[in-house]
Amino acid sequence: MPNRRSFIRQTAAILGGLALHNNARAAFQLPAKPTFDQGPDDDFWRQVRQAYACSPTLINLNNGGVCPAPRATMDALDYYNRMCNEAPSYYMWRILDQDREPLRYNLAALAGVDPEEIAINRNATESLNTIISD
């Protein structure tokens, strides 16, 4: 019988496998073996910097609490915000809502658990509050 611990263990294994997979490097066009002795302007770190829109004059040392989102995430968020503002009730109830359950079932299949064990929350704070209050 699957439980939360096995779900977390399986999720960690899946994410670890994805992180090590060679296609992950190709998706970001990272060098096969990053080198860190070429100075601060090497290609690897330039690509990492370009993935984010944060100010180049600041160094954010608090990524645990106020981590910036990558540009691709911000672009997707902007797209869906525009889409939902063009016709709010139509997109919310006819487009976005119909995708929630299939997504939950796909996540459950990926994790090898029952769909009833999957909850989709808006953010980490809502997730923690849900767990704490149960």
Q: C-alpha angle 13/27/60, rounded to 5°? A: 80
- Rg (C-alpha) for the chain, rounded Å, is 19
- For the stretch 76-95, pLDDT in tens is 989 988 988 888 888 877 88
Written as one letter, the residue type at 72 is: A
Least confident of 11-20, 47-56, 74-83: 11-20
Would you state the pLDDT for residue 112? Answer: 93
Q: Which neighbouring-strand residues pair with 52?
A: 70
- In this prediction, residues 3-26 reach a mean pLDDT of 65
Task: Please say if the pLDDT value at position 133 is more than 80.
Answer: yes
pTM exceeds 0.85 for this model: no
Q: Is 39 left (phi over 0), alpha (psi -120 to 50) or beta?
A: left
The three state secondary structure string of the chain is CCCHHHHHHHHHHHHHHHHHCHHHHHHHCCCCCCCCCCCCCCHHHHHHHHCECCCCCCCCCCHHHHCCCEHHHHHHHHHHHHHHHHCHHHHHHHHHHHHHHHHHHHHHHHHCCCHHHCCCCCCHHHHHHHHHHC
| More confident site: 131 or 64 | 131
Q: Average the pLDDT over 63-78 and give the result.
A: 85
Residue with tokens 């330039």: 46
